[in-house]
């Protein structure tokens, strides 16, 4: 382990602003309440009592010997986005131990299936002084790599005070967040000054960081890491069984990562589609499987015949909607359907990662609300790799058109797939920057 990362931070860090001091006091005061709230959410997700304690900074695994890189991500999308980067970083620093923290039960369940060999997951400590101190005392990482917009002041300030190298990767900040930080320029500079390196998703994110006080020579533009992540795994046996059940000639489309208020629109679209294509099967994949009963009730109310994956009900010849209400099988649903509608986009939710379905060779549809991936969708649309469908009528019309014209569907799918396969060189460059800046081969990192 790095000698710089072993000692405790003592006292208030130099340059701490009045606002940060107030934040530190407030988080100390609300710590017990925050822990109870976090515990309630994790219990609802089936997390054990011992693992819930990780949110208080109490580790449930030993710290491995040797250097340790700590990745911190908010939830599912951010966690999965950095898996390939974790492996590339270890390729450059053989023997490097990998730890990833996140805050949700769903992310923990998915990471348990997809973590690189030898990597481990813990729930992230709450951003309270006590939880952060306990976490850092146990793990004393050599590098901390935060993902997207994870700017937790106590984590960052205390890690920096211990000499831990820090980077923000896949960085992006919403305009609302930027405006908030601009009202607090001294505190923004203080918190952002903890980072040794910023690697942004795009030029706008780089400009936003400069606007709120990040040191310009620490900012570099990269790519959206979700474009470089490995496709989700596919259970070959399950895929073969479902293909046999569905049949080779039956039309199939998937509506993936849908949210409340979107399933009604998708089911309306499917009902319209069945008028001209009566045998078509819809695979409906709610973003959060714990909503499955509510979604099943919507299907029943629509008059469509349903089978549920979680109930081990295979889709039969009369099934019109197959409810894919399980975790960790997204690759299966993308493999089965040559047409994918990507949810989180019919309502102002922000959209979801289009790279995964594109990498499976699906022709893509999306609603118009994709602010979280605006640059990606713009570039994808410019390559004819996605079509915007804002309502049930347009979804039904486009799925129908592709079912009637397989050549047009394949052209759209090829455009999406070509777009999704870019970025591997960029991933190597990002791993190299992190290794050189935070984990030099010989000696300690600079400053």
Question: Model confidence over 154-165: pLDDT tens digits?
Answer: 999 999 999 999
6: confidence class by pLDDT, cuts 50, 70, 90: very low
Can you give the pLDDT at residue 441?
A: 86
Of the candidate ranges 36-45, 189-198, 276-285, 350-359, the one whose mean pLDDT is the lowest: 350-359
pLDDT digits (tens, 9 = 90+) for 170-185: 998 888 899 999 999 9
For the segment 338-348, the average pLDDT, to the nearest whole number, is 98
**Cα–Cα distances in Å, from 61 out to 48, 110, 171, 224?**
14, 18, 29, 31
DSSP H helices in 226-373: 236-246, 263-276, 292-302, 330-336, 355-359
- In the block, which residue shows the tokens 């073969």? 240
Is the pLDDT score of 78 beyond 90? Answer: no
Element (H, E) at 5: none
For the segment 65-73, the average pLDDT, to the nearest whole number, is 97
Pull the structure tokens for residue 221.
């533009």
Can you give the pLDDT at residue 445?
A: 57
Q: What percent of the chain has pLDDT over 70?
A: 96
Q: Which residues pair with 363 in a beta bridge?
A: 339
Give me the DSSP letters along 208-231: HHHHTT--GGGEEE---GGGTSPP
Is the pLDDT score of 295 beyond 70? Answer: yes
Catalytic residue among 78, 262, 263, 329: 78
Which residue ranges make up each domain of the chain? 3-228+424-438, 236-420
Q: Which fold has domain 3-228+424-438?
A: Rossmann fold (3.40.50)
27 HSE (CA, 13 A, CB side):
20
Distance CA 250, CA 376 (A): 32
Question: Is 78 designated active site?
Answer: yes
Beta carbons of 82 and 169 less than 8 angstroms apart: yes
Distance CA 258, CA 294 (A): 13
Distance CA 73, CA 288 (A): 18
CA 215 to chain centre: 27
Residue 249 main-chain phi, psi, to 5 deg:
-100, -10
Distance CA 23, CA 352 (A): 32
Can you give the pLDDT at residue 85?
A: 94
Distance CA 191, CA 184 (A): 11
Q: Structure pTM?
A: 0.74
Distance CA 270, CA 304 (A): 9
Can you give the pLDDT at residue 51?
A: 97
Distance CA 67, CA 94 (A): 10
Beta carbons of 160 and 130 less than 8 angstroms apart: no
For the segment 194-206, the average pLDDT, to the nearest whole number, is 93
Residues 6+ apart with CB under 8 A from 54: 60, 122, 123, 124, 125
Distance CA 272, CA 334 (A): 22
Does 236-420 match 3-228+424-438 at the fold level? yes
Angle, helices 129-139/18-44, rounded to nearest 10 degrees: 80
430 C-beta neighbours (distance < 10 Å), count: 26
Q: Average pLDDT over the chain, rounded to whole?
A: 93
Is the pLDDT score of 2 beyond 60? Answer: no
For the segment 372-396, the average pLDDT, to the nearest whole number, is 93
Element (H, E) at 148: none
Give Rg (Cα) of the chain. Answer: 23
Domain covering 236-420 assigned CATH 3.30.365.10 in the classification: no
Residues 6+ apart with CB under 8 A from 193: 15, 160, 215
């Amino acid at each position: 382990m790095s000698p710089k990362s072993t000692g405790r931070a003592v006292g208030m860090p130099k340059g701490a602003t009045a606002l940060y001091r107030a934040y530190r006091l407030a988080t100390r005061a609300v710590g017990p309440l925050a822990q109870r709230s976090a515990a309630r959410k994790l219990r609802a997700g089936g997390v054990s009592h011992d693992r819930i304690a990780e949110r208080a900074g109490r580790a449930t695994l030993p710290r491995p010997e040797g250097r340790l890189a700590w990745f911190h991500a908010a939830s599912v999308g951010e966690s999965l986005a950095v898996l390939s980067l974790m492996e590339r970083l270890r390729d450059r620093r053989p023997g490097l131990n990998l730890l990833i923290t996140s805050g949700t039960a769903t992310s923990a369940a998915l990471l348990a299936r997809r973590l690189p060999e030898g990597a481990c997951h813990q729930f992230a400590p709450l951003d309270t002084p006590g939880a952060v101190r306990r976490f850092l005392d146990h793990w004393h990482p050599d590098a901390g790599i935060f993902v997207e917009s994870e700017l937790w002041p106590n984590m960052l300030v205390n890690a920096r005070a211990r000499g831990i190298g820090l980077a923000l990767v896949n960085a992006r900040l919403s305009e609302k967040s930027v405006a908030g930080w601009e009202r607090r320029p001294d505190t923004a500079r203080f918190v952002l000054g903890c980072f040794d390196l910023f690697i942004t998703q795009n030029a706008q994110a780089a400009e936003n960081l400069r606007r709120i006080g990040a040191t310009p020579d620490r900012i570099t533009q990269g790519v959206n890491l979700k474009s470089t992540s490995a496709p989700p795994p596919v259970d070959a046996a399950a895929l073969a069984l479902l293909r046999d059940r569905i049949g080779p000639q039956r039309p199939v489309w998937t509506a993936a990562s849908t949210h409340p208020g979107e399933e009604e629109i998708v089911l309306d679209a499917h009902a319209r589609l069945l008028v001209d294509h009566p045998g078509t099967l819809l695979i409906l994949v709610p973003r959060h499987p714990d909503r499955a009963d509510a979604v099943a009730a919507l299907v029943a109310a629509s008059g469509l015949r349903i089978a549920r994956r979680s109930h081990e009900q295979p889709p039969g010849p009369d099934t019109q909607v197959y409810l894919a209400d399980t975790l960790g099988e997204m690759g299966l649903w993308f493999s089965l359907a040559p047409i994918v509608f990507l949810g989180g986009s019919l309502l102002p939710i922000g959209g979801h990662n289009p790279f995964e379905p594109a990498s499976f060779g699906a022709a893509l549809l999306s609603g118009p609300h994709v602010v979280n991936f605006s640059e990606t969708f713009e570039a994808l649309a410019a390559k004819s790799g996605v079509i915007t469908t804002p309502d049930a009528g347009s979804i039904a019309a486009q799925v129908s058109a592709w079912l009637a014209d397989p050549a047009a569907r394949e052209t759209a799918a090829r455009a999406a797939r070509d777009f999704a396969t870019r970025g591997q060189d960029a991933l190597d460059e990002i791993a190299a920057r992190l290794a050189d800046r935070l984990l030099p081969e010989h000696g300690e990192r600079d400053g």
